[in-house]
Chain A
Amino acid sequence: MKQKKISQKLIREIRFQSIIEILMLLVMFFAFVPVIVMLIMSFKTNWEIYNDFFALPKNIAWNNYFVAFGKLSTNMINTLCVIAVAVALTLIVAGLSGYVFATMEFPGKNLIYMLILALMMIPGILYLAPNYSLIQRYGLYNTRWALILPWISGGQVLGILLCRNAIEALPKDLFEAAKIEGCNEIDSLVRIAVPLAKPMLSTIAVMKLVDYYNDFIWPMMVIETNSKQVITVAVKVFTSSMGSTEIGSMFAGYVIATIPLFILFMFTSRLYMEGMTAGAVKG
């Protein structure tokens, strides 16, 4: 009797699991449709796309990738370099400020902290026009600093919050002991706080890298020269210039622009997901 009840429960459980599995596979299939379209199209020639839309590519058209990479390689390298600098600077700035807010007491601390946090609630589009004119006025227009500086300024906000929380979670006596040993603030930041807050710093790094990589409107506004342009805008320009003549190469361009984040996700999926939710969970 008891056994029967258990097996009934087991059957119900299996049935439940298979239903949700089918549901999830269905949803997953649809979620991947754009990715699948992108990949398949990128290997097809124009002729194949127009004449036999659903067929898989007969001969893999690597040429699409050569064309796209030829056009986008400089932008890709440029993007990665600019982002590397911006992420490094963001970490430094956020680390410094996070450390100050976590370990020090000084007049005006709460006011300054509130001013920083308030930026999370203020839509950035409010000051699009002032910042655009500021960039032009100070000769930053069409330089890479026009990307880096506003990026850090906005990117540091959540970084400071996360760094402060991470450093505050460390035992206080660590820093006191260091002070007694004669460490100054910079020493104890570099030697104690940074190594211990490394997991948080890597989360911030991944999160900001993804953020900066996804930026589109701002680079389009402040960068004119193609060699300094970031990949997202370059792909858009590339797409417009291709028209309907080289659809395969266009999709190859999309795939190329996706690869860096795909690699990042493969290697740091935990940090990637953590970074994605950090804003919502900890903010």
Chain B
Amino acid sequence: MKKTNNLWRIVTVISLILAVCSLVGVRYFGEKTEGVEDVTYATGNQNNCLCYDDTQQIMYVGTHDNFLIAFQEGQELFRVSAGGPFSEVTLDQENHLIYAGNEDGNIYVYDMSDGTLQQQIEVQRRIVSITVSSDHSKVAVATSTGSSKANILIYSTADGSEIANHKYTVSIAGVKFAEDGESLFSVNKRGEICRIAIDGSELNSYETNFAALSLIRQNDLLWTVCKDGSYYALDESLNVVRKGCVQNTVSATIVSIGTDEANEHVIVGTSEGYFFIMNGADQQVYMADVGTKITGFAGVGNEIYMAGLADLIKLVHVDNLENIATNRLIANVLRIAGIILLSVTVIALVMSFGRSRSYILHLLKEIWKHRMAYIMLLPTLLLIYFFNYRGIATAFIRAFTNWSKTNTSLAQIDFVGLENFGRMFTEGYFLIGMKNLVLLMVTGIIKVLTMPLVIAWLVYNISGGKRKYLHRFLFVLPIVVPGVISAMTWQKIYDPSIGLLNEVLGALHLESLQHVWLGDSKTAIWAVIFMGFPFVHAMAFLVYYGGFLNIGRDVEESAMIDGATRWEMFWKIQLPLIRPQISIMVTLQIIGTMQDFNSIFILTGGGPGTATYVPALELYLNVAQFGRYGYACALGVILFVFTMTATLISNRLTREKE
């Protein structure tokens, strides 16, 4: 006995050590599955383009809301503003200048370290791309006016005078100077990559099959990406050095391209927020979604900074990405191993005490004897684990974290305390939603307690079985219209110009009462409540009707003999006897109102403004549109608590009356 105890204790210790090892391993490899990292600074604006100065380690960010911001070591250095979005920024490190092309039609030249404006060249056209020759004597821009008018303009940097102006009838996506400074490369929507001389004559060209969307220069190579996701690297004589194509399985709209400094990894961005990373052999190694249009890249060493049309700058460790799949696999294997080892530890610990061992053995024997029951329950258990309880546990835990569409991996998710719950009160949508929810709840309970009950009583009092059946059938029949369809029909009934409601008012010469029912924030919530008139809730009707049937004729007959009228009988006998049914319907109504937002989604979408918001709708929007999962979980927890409280109160109230 003692020997077995000791044996089990040894097993406990060993498995515990192994479990700890594997969990440490999970952490180690888990961190290495992160190839995309947030940077420590934020612009607070919609970022449009990036440029990095490696001599002073300054990151320049041009934003869509007219700012050019410089960061050094995570601190904002300066910010300057212009009349339009900054489309592209390029550096002249020798003279310490930033050349910024702006959509307001100006080239702005700033000092690199303090942002003082050195020069402003008027182009008078929307600049889409800018480039400076390697001897810094010329600056060229590609501009666009309308969809098919484009220009390439070349200026002297010395005095800002125009050297050349070439007109094109196809829009140009990018322009870059050649090394010699006497010719330029440009890409256009026809998919042509051309080398043109200063005087505009075409020296050379290469044709791709789809519209070229972006042109960048990284050291000695030119990179362009086309609409179909194919990308090309060309040298100065327009020989294709590399080409490949992203596996755009999500059919996202390609917009931008970037590379690391060694021209090895290629990153392609889309307007949906997906980005694709290709390795040196042009194989796709990674794809992810940041949720917002990816507008620009800056390759620094073997890392690439990425800017998105939101307050988004991320650092992509491209070389990490290749091993992500392996690391993730190892982390997962270790995680499973860790869980198994931990359970072995617990079992071994229990087994190392004689008495608990015999109990466990007995239980195991019992379980083994009834294994058939567990096997048959397996589908149910697996389903409720994966789709219910796991979700419930996640919701409760992650309600306290910054979990979101972009923070998905364990390494990115951090506990933020009660921040999500605090947000409900600071953002305001939740409070408006609660006000509406209370209104909907009260009217919903009134609705379920009145019309269905009246109709059930009327149908119950019909003489003649066939007539009774027919009426019951007809009152339930409208339920065949799916809820969503019914909501859409009601939306049309409320339509201001061809809606039944306004037409009827017009026909009755009550034009003064006509209204944009769903478009006015005063009436919208009432229109939502009024939907479904005359509120013969089919389920409540059937349940009450069943309740009346259950009472039995003899109770009524004896009451009749005592001289009770139908009215008295309803209040004194029938109503008290169907209290359980009423209680259930009220409970179901509470649960339903809390989480149902289908009809609001269709009728108003929460609008106008926020007039018909409810918390459930806010929760949905946070999941499906804003991707703020942590906040959605917090809303879910609050709704859960409210549902439970309301249910308990309603049960308590009905019980007390009994």
Chain A residues near B (Cβ < 8 Å)? 13, 16-17, 20-21, 23-24, 27-28, 30-35, 37-38, 41, 49-50, 53-54, 92-94, 96-97, 99-100, 104-107, 109, 112, 115-116, 119, 121-134, 149-150, 152-154, 156, 160, 184-186, 213-214, 216-217, 220-221, 232, 235-236, 239, 244, 247, 250-251, 254, 257-258, 261-262, 264-265, 269, 272-273, 276-277, 279-281, 283
Closest beta carbon of chain A to B514's beta carbon, Å: 13
Query: Which residues from B are CB-within-8-Å of A35?
Result: 478, 481
- Beta-carbon contact of A130 and B398 below 8 Å: yes
Of A31, A104, A122, A235, which is within 8 A of B475 by CB?
A: A31
Give the complex CA separation of A134 and B475 in angstroms. 41
**Binding-face segment, B51-59, B225-233, B591-599:** B591-599
Chain B residues near A (Cβ < 8 Å)? 363, 366-367, 370, 372-374, 376-377, 379-381, 383-384, 386-392, 394-395, 398, 403, 408, 451, 455, 458-459, 461-463, 471-486, 488-490, 492-493, 498, 500, 503, 507, 533-534, 536, 538-539, 542-543, 546, 566, 581, 584-585, 588, 591, 594-595, 597-598, 601-602, 616, 619-620, 622-624, 629, 632-633, 636-637, 639-640, 643-644, 647
- Beta-carbon contact of B566 and A235 below 8 Å: no
Closest beta carbon of chain A to B335's beta carbon, Å: 14
- Beta-carbon contact of B595 and A125 below 8 Å: yes
- Beta-carbon contact of A106 and B636 below 8 Å: no
- Beta-carbon contact of A160 and B488 below 8 Å: no
- Beta-carbon contact of B380 and A276 below 8 Å: no
Query: Which residues from A are CB-within-8-Å of B647?
Result: 121
Of A38, A93, A123, which is within 8 A of B643 by CB?
A: A123
Give the nearest-CB partner of B566 in chain A: A16
**In terms of DSSP, what is the predominant structure of the interface of chain A?**
helix
Query: Which residues from B are CB-within-8-Å of A254?
Result: 481, 485, 488-489
- Beta-carbon contact of A235 and B485 below 8 Å: yes
Give the complex CA separation of A23 and B451 in angstroms. 12
Query: Which residues from A are CB-within-8-Å of B588?
Result: 279-280
Closest beta carbon of chain B to A42's beta carbon, Å: 11
Closest beta carbon of chain A to B534's beta carbon, Å: 5
Of B476, B500, B636, which is within 8 A of A37 by CB?
A: B500
Known contacts A34-B489, A99-B376, A269-B473; A119/B602 CB under 8 A? no
Give the complex CA separation of A128 and B601 in angstroms. 16
- Beta-carbon contact of B394 and A130 below 8 Å: yes
Nearest first, the 10 closest Cβ-Cβ pairs linking A and B are: A127-B391, A106-B370, A153-B387, A130-B391, A130-B394, A153-B383, A126-B636, A129-B632, A125-B595, A261-B480
Give the complex CA separation of A213 and B598 in angstroms. 14
Query: Which residues from A are CB-within-8-Å of B389?
Result: 115
Query: Which residues from B are CB-within-8-Å of A125?
Result: 594-595, 616, 619-620, 636, 639
- Beta-carbon contact of A123 and B595 below 8 Å: yes
Known contacts A107-B363, A153-B383; A236/B484 CB under 8 A? yes
Query: Which residues from B are CB-within-8-Å of A119?
Result: 384, 388
Contacts A153-B387, A216-B484 aside, 10 further interface pairs with beta carbons under 8 A come to A24-B475, A38-B481, A97-B379, A129-B636, A160-B380, A186-B376, A221-B623, A236-B484, A236-B602, A254-B489
Of B472, B492, B629, which is within 8 A of A129 by CB?
A: B629
Known contacts A20-B461, A31-B534; A280/B591 CB under 8 A? no
Give the nearest-CB partner of B474 in chain A: A28
Of A106, A127, A247, A279, which is within 8 A of B392 by CB?
A: A127
Give the complex CA separation of A152 and B387 in angstroms. 10
- Beta-carbon contact of B623 and A129 below 8 Å: yes
Give the complex CA separation of A133 and B628 in angstroms. 11
Query: Can you name 12 A-B residue pairings with CB atoms under 8 Å?
Result: A17-B463, A20-B461, A34-B486, A53-B498, A53-B503, A97-B377, A104-B372, A124-B595, A131-B387, A235-B485, A254-B488, A254-B489
> Of B488, B490, B498, B637, which is in contact with the most chain A CB atoms at under 10 Å from its CB?
B488
Of A99, A127, A214, which is within 8 A of B482 by CB?
A: A214
- Beta-carbon contact of B392 and A126 below 8 Å: yes
- Beta-carbon contact of A33 and B500 below 8 Å: yes
Give the nearest-CB partner of B533 in chain A: A30
Give the complex CA separation of A115 and B398 in angstroms. 22
- Beta-carbon contact of B534 and A30 below 8 Å: yes
> Of A49, A116, A131, A154, which is in contact with the most chain B CB atoms at under 10 Å from its CB?
A131
Known contacts A153-B384, A216-B484; A100/B377 CB under 8 A? yes
Give the nearest-CB partner of B547 in chain A: A281
Give the complex CA separation of A125 and B403 in angstroms. 17
- Beta-carbon contact of A276 and B503 below 8 Å: no
Of B373, B384, B534, B624, which is within 8 A of A27 by CB?
A: B534
- Beta-carbon contact of A121 and B373 below 8 Å: no
Query: Which residues from B are CB-within-8-Å of A127?
Result: 388, 391-392, 394-395, 636
Give the complex CA separation of A80 and B252 in angstroms. 30
Query: Which residues from B are CB-within-8-Å of A97?
Result: 376-377, 379-380
Give the complex CA separation of A109 and B590 in angstroms. 30
Closest beta carbon of chain A to B631's beta carbon, Å: 9
Known contacts A104-B373, A213-B482; A276/B493 CB under 8 A? no
- Beta-carbon contact of B584 and A132 below 8 Å: no
Give the complex CA separation of A129 and B367 in angstroms. 35
- Beta-carbon contact of A24 and B398 below 8 Å: no
Query: Which residues from B are CB-within-8-Å of A105?
Result: 370
- Beta-carbon contact of B620 and A217 below 8 Å: yes
- Beta-carbon contact of B632 and A38 below 8 Å: no
Known contacts A216-B598, A280-B581; A153/B386 CB under 8 A? yes
- Beta-carbon contact of A17 and B629 below 8 Å: no
- Beta-carbon contact of B459 and A121 below 8 Å: no
Closest beta carbon of chain B to A172's beta carbon, Å: 16
Query: Which residues from A are CB-within-8-Å of B594?
Result: 123, 125
Give the nearest-CB partner of A103 in chain B: B373
- Beta-carbon contact of A185 and B372 below 8 Å: yes
Closest beta carbon of chain B to A129's beta carbon, Å: 4
Give the nearest-CB partner of B642 in chain A: A123
Give the complex CA separation of A135 and B162 in angstroms. 57
Query: Which residues from A are CB-within-8-Å of B643?
Result: 121, 123
Closest beta carbon of chain A to B622's beta carbon, Å: 8
Give the nearest-CB partner of A133 in chain B: B629
- Beta-carbon contact of B619 and A257 below 8 Å: no
- Beta-carbon contact of B543 and A34 below 8 Å: no
- Beta-carbon contact of A232 and B395 below 8 Å: no
Closest beta carbon of chain A to B354's beta carbon, Å: 21
Query: Which residues from B are CB-within-8-Å of A96?
Result: 376-377, 379-380
Known contacts A49-B498, A54-B503, A221-B623; A261/B482 CB under 8 A? yes
Give the complex CA separation of A186 and B483 in angstroms. 39
- Beta-carbon contact of B394 and A27 below 8 Å: no
Of A24, A49, A116, A131, which is within 8 A of B384 by CB?
A: A116
Closest beta carbon of chain A to B143's beta carbon, Å: 36
Give the complex CA separation of A134 and B476 in angstroms. 38
Give the nearest-CB partner of B534 in chain A: A30
Give the complex CA separation of A57 and B657 in angstroms. 55
